[in-house]
Chain A
Amino acid sequence: MAYAAAEVTGAPSVGGKAVDFDVALTAAAKLLRRSQRPLFHGLGSDVQGLRALFRLAEHCNAVVDHMHSQALNSSLRVLQSRGWHTTTLGEVQNRADLVVMLGVDLDRGFPRFLERHVAGKHALQQARRAHRRLVHLGPKANTPTCPADLPMDVLPTPIDRLAESIRTLQGLLQGIPLPSVSDALQALAARIAAAEYPVFVWAPGQLPTATADLVIGAACELVAQINRTRRAAGLALGGDDGAQSALAVSAWLTGFGTGVGFSRGALMPRGELGGSTTALAEGGIDLVLHLGSFSQARPPASDKPSIVLAPPGLAPSEAPDVYLPIGIPGIDHPGQLIRTDGVVALPLRALRAPHHPSATEVLQRLQSALERKP
């Protein structure tokens, strides 16, 4: 996807008309200056870009929301209500002897996860690798393409029954007699009980909003229960479009993971109100600024004026009021992104001479323009 975006053509525009960069920047600054309460949406950027965005958001009294905040919020609600026991990619690679995918569509969302972290030849604990099995507990249609030397069990389970299946496993592991449990689920419970380091994997962004909290909550409880006497861990896959970076940067700059607004020098935590849809429905939002560096820019549907910062190949099909082309972190300029497990931050290096300024530079120039007298 990112490579389609590596196109370099694409001019800044105001009202759909190509203009010089400085003209577009001035127009964007003018919209921001006029706005009482802008929504800063998307947040698809690297750590530097996000730092600049939060700084500008504070200056502009903006509400801030990542494009995948629904998925982030499902995880955060579980974290904030009960916590979790998780692991990282490197631990899975070396320690896991059983990897249970909970409703994850690997081929669609994480096509290299198995190859890189589950099916590799080497592991510090070679016996764990030798005995490693993959289990797909989820819709049959999402069964992953499994490398030949990795045995896989498939337990077809509709997404809306997933939480129930996880609860059933929990009951079976506690030795609670449960009626009409499938042989396959009983066998899985036995495998989990025999495993030394089972890892349960979910992908918050792939779970329907209605069931995400239930599935993640059930998985976290199952892991915690096993850990009372044995070892197990969970792993959430996601972090697309810089979501993990946005979560981390927001948390350290403001103290809140997602759903933050600013008003006259104060933080306005929005908690459950978080998302863009709510912010727009509340009324009061009078401008949308969308920042996306990694996937097709999709500002939320609204009748408000809009500013879009995106690489040329990823600009929205319908021209916003102001469009400012930016470079792609890791292609046009260096940067840093925080990985899905929230631990490892990766350095990105520039691969070519930049054709467009970085999001950081554009956001900083907007801030300077706003800090100058109109």
Chain B
Amino acid sequence: MTTRRLTELRGGRIYDPTHGVDGESRSLFIDDSGHIAAAPRTPAEITQTLDVDGCVVMAGGVDIHTHIGGGKVNLARMMLPEEHLASLVGRDRHPWPGSGVATPSTLTAGYRYAEMGYTACFEPAMLPANAREAHMELADTPIVDKGAYALLGNDDFLLRRLAAGAPDSEIADYIAWTLHASQAMAIKVVNPGGINAFKFNQRKLDLDEENTAYGITPRQILLSLARNLNHLGVTHPLHIHGCNLGVPGNVNTTLATIAGLEGLPAHLTHVQFHSYGVEGDRKFSSGALAIAEAVNRSPNISVDVGQIMFGQTVTESGDSMRQHAGSAFASPRKSVLMDIECDAGCGVVPFHYRDRNFVNALQWIIGLELFLSVGDPWRIFLTTDHPNGAPFTSYPHLIRLLMDRSFRRDMLATLMPEAVAASNLASLDREYSLYEIAILTRAGPARSLGLANLGHLGVGARADIAVYREHADRERMFSSARYVFKSGQVVVQDGRVVAAPNGATHVTRAEYDAGITRSLDDYFARYMSVRRRNLMVSDAEIEDLGRSPLCIHSTRRQG
């Protein structure tokens, strides 16, 4: 038997919620294939030792929802030279120059994620028509593993087939084909049917309101997609950006959406933007408690928060309907809106969240109320809906807000008193533990996505590891990792990127009947501007042109 060559991380405190490990002091071993290894049989197997005495050791972070690549992100970059001029970063800091905070250049995004100990990022809004470009951007995002969710639910093909009463088997085939064609990890729906309805000048679409062109309601779309994804056995459930984003009173839409899913697994994203009531003089109030209670009693539902932070950012969304409404509040005053390829749309609106603004202050409060009121940390994930609520670089600050009650109260005290008075945040005593933070930022998202060997530190897991120096100021602690390993290689040391390998691209493959490709061939030939096969992104494009390993997660149909 050949001798293993192991690297020992010695003296760290390990937080690995997947295995119930809560701050246990022990060594962690990495083998030379880049995986976590069992303890050595003889000391001779240890060829390298890194002393991380007293440091906190977690699996690399997994961001389940971050807009880092694709057409709307690149449009935002082009639209905002002021943001990039103010944040140039050179080789003195990173292996390759770049710029941007809310819309960082791709390499800069990869380096910054790694510096914070994140090793996997998922782009949540990839239009199949834009998939090739989105993957090219992700391929130029170094270090982190990546994947993307394909958008369905506003595409004319699906709406036509639903209107025609197509059987579930056909919808499931179409979903499976879309996953394959766009090399996607999961399926996302944005304002179901609403982006399409906006093309026909509908300005809002409630859960049970018909899209005038097809006579289909958001509820029908949600149920069809959620049911068929479940049927296909795709691990990550339907990723839902619901109706009425940002609209006061949308808490009722969100509650009705949760109830309407009829127990089917689903993920509600940036739920902060969907938790607004209409109480009070200003007709804007927190619906966080009602949403948290609904989530708490619905084990089929997971959420991510989409916390906002005060300052300048830019909102990028497929939701052209709601982004058009939001463009009235653009700051600076410019915005992009697109109708896209019978697929969906997008809107890019720069925005400045202000702590002296009642609505913005309450949005900040609502996000934190959600974090502190949802009981099960395995069903709530830490996001800012980068960059829509705030750039991802604000995660360490957010972690401190969650872990440090007195810091949170100090911050709350700086907000406008009317907003503070309208909330019960001051009375929420909960403080997240390191163990729970490890769930919110790695173990939970990895489990939800079905990434079996990421997000934990069990034997055989990929050695994507973050090591943080213990510090009472959790913001400082999580801003800059002492070490980050990617597949066993040190990529960050003392907060500096020291190596920048390419991460893998994760995709989900589900089986589909060839019949769907024939109907799609016909549909594309008649109506689309490209042929079906030219829309499809090949494995070779991901692997060779993108210089990125392809990690395929296969599924099996249920029942």
A interface residues, Cβ below 8 angstroms from B: 47-48, 51, 58, 76, 79-91, 93-95, 116-117, 122-125, 196-197, 227, 230-231, 233, 247-248, 251-257, 262, 264-267, 269, 271, 336, 338, 341-347
Contacts and interface: CB of A to CB of B under 8 A. Distances in A.
Contact of A256 (B84, B90, B133, B545): B84
A85 B79 CA distance: 13
Nearest to B334: A83
A265 B71 contact: no
A267 B156 contact: no
Contacts of A125: 213
A267 B130 contact: no
A315 B338 CA distance: 39
Contact of B527 (A76, A93, A255, A346): A93
Nearest to B77: A251
B7 interface: no
B105 A252 contact: yes
B201 A342 contact: no
A121 B528 CA distance: 12
A259 B305 CA distance: 38
Given A47-B136, A82-B334, A85-B338, A267 B526 contact: no
Given A254-B99, A255-B84, A346 B534 contact: yes
A90 B341 contact: yes
A121 to B, nearest CB: 8
Given A82-B333, A255-B104, A344-B535, 8 more contacts: A48-B545, A84-B336, A88-B339, A88-B341, A124-B342, A197-B199, A252-B77, A265-B92
Contact of B74 (A85, A117, A252): A252
B81 A344 contact: no
Contacts of A338: 133
A234 B100 CA distance: 28
B88 A116 contact: no
B133 A233 contact: no
B542 to A, nearest CB: 12
B85 A269 contact: yes
Interface residues on B, range: 35 or more
Contacts of B91: 264-266
Interface string B89-117: 01110001111100111111000000000
Contacts of B340: 87-88, 91, 343
Given A79-B79, A343-B130, A347-B541, A90 B529 contact: yes
A58 B96 contact: yes
Contact of A255 (B99, B201, B327): B99
Contact of B71 (A48, A84, A342): A342
Given A91-B342, A257-B78, A345 B133 contact: yes
Nearest to A360: B545
B242 to A, nearest CB: 23
Given A252-B140, A265-B91, A345-B132, A83 B336 contact: yes
A269 B324 contact: no
A252 B88 CA distance: 14
B337 interface: yes
B430 interface: no
Nearest to B94: A265
Contacts of B99: 254-256, 267, 269
Q: Which of A89, A257, A345, A346 has most chain B Cβ within 10 Å?
A: A345
Q: Which of A51, A76, A255, A346 has most chain B Cβ within 10 Å?
A: A255
Contact of A254 (B98, B129, B200, B201): B98
A344 B337 contact: no
Nearest to A197: B199
A247 B337 CA distance: 19
B85 A91 contact: no
Interface string B117-159: 0000000000101101100110010000000000000001000
Given A91-B339, A91-B341, A255 B213 contact: no
B160 A124 contact: yes
Contacts of A58: 96-97
3 A-B pairs closest in CB distance: A265-B91, A255-B99, A266-B90
Contact of B538 (A47, A230, A347): A347
Contacts of A47: 136, 545
Contact of A93 (B97, B198, B529): B529
B292 to A, nearest CB: 36
B256 interface: no
A336 B336 contact: no
B529 A117 contact: yes
Contacts of B166: none
B529 A116 contact: yes
Contacts of B98: 253-255, 267
Q: By DSSP majority rule, is chain A's interface helix, strand, loop, or mixed?
A: mixed
Contacts of B80: 80
B530 interface: yes
B140 A253 contact: yes
B25 to A, nearest CB: 41
Given A48-B545, A230-B201, A88 B334 contact: no
A69 B129 CA distance: 26
A267 B527 CA distance: 43
A93 B341 CA distance: 9
A187 B201 CA distance: 23
Contacts of B160: 124
B335 interface: yes
A346 B339 contact: no
Contacts of B534: 346-347
A85 B337 contact: yes
A83 B527 contact: no
A267 B88 contact: yes
B249 interface: no
B290 to A, nearest CB: 34
A90 B525 CA distance: 11
B77 A88 contact: no
Nearest to A349: B534
B387 interface: no
A31 to B, nearest CB: 24
Given A255-B84, A255-B99, A336 B541 contact: yes
Contacts of B198: 231
20 contacts: A47-B136, A83-B79, A90-B527, A94-B342, A117-B529, A124-B342, A227-B324, A251-B74, A251-B78, A252-B69, A255-B104, A256-B77, A257-B78, A265-B90, A269-B99, A336-B132, A338-B133, A343-B340, A343-B341, A347-B132
Contacts of A82: 333-334
B356 to A, nearest CB: 26
B428 interface: no
A196 B200 CA distance: 8
B129 A90 contact: yes
A361 B556 CA distance: 41
B50 interface: no
Q: Which of A47, A51, A91 has most chain B Cβ within 10 Å?
A: A91
B552 interface: no
A233 B336 CA distance: 11
B452 interface: no
Contacts of B538: 347
Interface in B318-362: 324, 327, 330, 333-343, 348
Contacts of A253: 98, 105-107, 140
Nearest to B350: A83
Nearest to B109: A252
A255 B529 contact: no
Contact of A122 (B78, B200, B330, B526): B526
